[in-house]
């Protein structure tokens, strides 16, 4: 699985003008399941995200995890993270998991992260979403399982 993490002071996702998810201080996590991913990959990635020390401690250093900081997460499906731009001008997405498998793994990732103690809200899988965020830092991290 692939994930793009952005440390945020706030984030929100809407569909047709209606808020479907959001968070205050914490992480906006864009997630993509790839062709050969399985439940173990989703769980492993969620574990890494929960423990990643990218939040400031009292000295201002990135030394605390989202759990340590008491942050929340907004998890949004993002199949375009599978983009192959190696040829031509149009990205290919054939490396992404099929939609139903992608949905299952996206939901598994979010549920695992919540099970680890992170308050989680989600976007709408395969929805035409609008994502608004205030990146804190900015801190943006690319991760793969």
Q: Which of 35, 80, 93, 140 is catalytic?
A: 80
Q: Backbone dihedral region of 16: left (phi > 0), alpha (psi from -120 to 50 degrees) or beta?
A: left
Q: Which of 6, 78, 112, 122 is catalytic?
A: 78
Establish whether 78 is a catalytic residue. yes
Establish whether 35 is a catalytic residue. no
Q: Which of 6, 55, 79, 109 is catalytic?
A: 79
Contact assessment for residue 10 and residue 75, using Cβ atoms and an 8 Å cutoff: no
Given CA atoms 10, 70, 46, 100 in this order, what sign does their dihedral have?
negative
Establish whether 85 is a catalytic residue. no
The catalytic residue positions are 78-80
């Amino acid at each position: 699985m692939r994930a793009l993490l952005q440390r945020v002071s706030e984030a929100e996702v809407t569909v047709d003008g209606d808020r479907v998810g959001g968070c205050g201080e914490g992480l906006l996590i864009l997630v993509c399941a790839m062709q050969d991913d399985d439940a173990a990959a989703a769980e492993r990635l969620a574990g890494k995200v929960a423990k990643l020390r990218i939040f400031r401690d009292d000295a201002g250093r990135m030394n605390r995890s989202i759990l340590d900081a008491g942050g929340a997460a907004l998890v949004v499906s993002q199949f375009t993270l599978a983009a192959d731009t190696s040829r031509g001008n149009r990205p290919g997405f054939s490396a992404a998991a099929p939609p139903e498998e992608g949905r299952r793994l996206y939901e598994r990732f979010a549920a695992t992260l919540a099970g680890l103690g992170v308050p989680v809200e989600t976007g709408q899988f395969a929805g035409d979403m609008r994502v608004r965020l205030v990146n804190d830092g900015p801190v943006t991290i690319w991760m793969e399982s």
